[in-house]
Amino acid sequence: MKRSTNSLIGQIVAVNVLLVVATLFAASAAASLNLSTQDQRTQFALLALTIVLVLLMNMLMIQRRFTPLERLIERVEEIDPQQPAEFDAPEVGAGSDEVDRLAASFRRLLGRIEAERRRSGRLALRAQEEERKRLARDLHDEVNQALTAILLRLQAVSQDAPPTVADELTEVRRPVNQAMDELLRLARELRPTALDDHGLYTAIESQVRRFSTQTGIAADLQVNGHPAELDPDRETAVFRIAQEALANVARHARATAVEVGVEPLGDHGVALTVRDDGRGFVLEGQSNGLGLNGMAERARLVGGELEIDSRPGAGTALSLKVP
C-alpha cells in the first residue's frame, strides 16, 4: 500500500525509525560497545536485530490499526453528494473501536445533513408553491378580469358601431379571447385548483385529460384503491412529478399513447407510474435536458424513490414511490 510521508501513518513510521536508530546508538554508547572486536560486533548485531524486530512489529501493528481508517477514508471519498444516505461504513473488525466510533459519528452527521437538506428543500418548494399560487390567483382574478372587462366593452361598442367597424371589433375580440384562454391555462399550470379543492387523484385526472386534449396523444389513467392520506408537501411533489413526466412525453417522446397509474402505497403512501410508447432515450447524459434530476431531487425531499427505465425505441417508464 502506497504511503505518503505527509500522512499520519507515514509520520509515525518516520518517527519510529528515528527513535529506533537513536535507541540503537544510545544503547551502544551506554553499553560501551567496541565495534573493533568480534564479540562487541556480535553483541551490537544482536541488539540491532532485536530493535529492528521491535520496529517491524510496531509497523505491523500501526498498519493493522490504520488500515480500517484508510478504508473508511476511501469510502467517504466515494460518497455521492446526491445520495449521502447510502453511506455504508466498511468492516473494521475487532480492536478498532475508534474507527467504529468515527464511522458511526460520520453516519449520524450525514443523517443530520440529509434531514436538514430535506427540511430546507421542503421549505423552498413550499415557498415556490405559495408564489405559484399567488401568481395564479393574480392572473385569474386581476388580469383575466381586466381582459373580461375589455371584451365586454368591445362587445357593447360593436353593437352600436357601423358594420365595417363592428367587423374590426369582432376581429379584435378574437385575440382577447385567446389571451384569456392562455391566461387560464397558465394559471392552471402554475397551481391547479383541483389539487387544492379535490386532492391529488382528481388533480392528476384533470392533468391527464388536459394533456390528451392539448397534445392529441391517447392517455389512459388507472386509479387503484382509495386515495391515500398525504400531507400537502408530498401531494404537491407527486403531482409536479406527474406533470413534468407528461410534459416530457409531449416535448420529447413522440409517443402515441401514455399510461398513467396511481395507487396507494400502504396507509399513507402513493405509487405513481407513467409509461409511454415513444422513442425512448439513453439515460446517461440526457437527464439535465429532460429535467430528471429535478424530479429525482423533488422525490428525495419527500422521502420518495424515483426510477426511470428507458431505451431507444422502447419507450420510457417512470416509477415513483412515496412511502
| pLDDT score of 184 | 81
Q: Which of 23-32, 88-97, 228-237, 277-286 has the highest mean pLDDT?
A: 228-237
Predicted pLDDT at 86: 61
Would you state the pLDDT for residue 318?
95
pLDDT above 50 for 64: yes
Q: Which among 7-11, 132-136, 220-224 has the top mean pLDDT?
A: 220-224
8 pLDDT tier (thresholds 50, 70, 90): low
pLDDT at residue 59 tops 70 = yes
% of residues, the chain, pLDDT over 70: 84
One of 1.10.10.10, 3.20.20.20, 3.60.20.10, 3.30.565.10 is the CATH number of 196-322, namely: 3.30.565.10
pLDDT at position 257: 95
Q: Quick one: which of 29, 21, 18, 30 has its CA closest to 48?
A: 21
- What is the value of pTM for the model shown? 0.67
CA 252 to mean position of chain CA atoms:
22
Q: Give me the residue spans of the domains in the chain.
A: 8-112, 127-189, 196-322
Q: φ and ψ at 10, to 5 degrees?
A: -65, -40
> Can you give the pLDDT at residue 1?
43
Query: How many other C-beta atoms lie within 10 A of the C-beta of residue 175?
Result: 10
Q: What is the pLDDT of residues 238-287, one digit of tens each?
A: 999 999 999 999 988 899 999 999 999 887 899 999 999 999 888 765 45
The confidence score (pLDDT) of residue 2 equals 47
Q: Residue 71: is its pLDDT beyond 60?
A: yes
Residue 38 has pLDDT above 70, yes or no: no
Grid cell listed for 99 = 474507527
pLDDT in the model for residue 212: 93
Q: Find the helix or strand (DSSP H, E) in which 65 lies.
A: helix 38-77
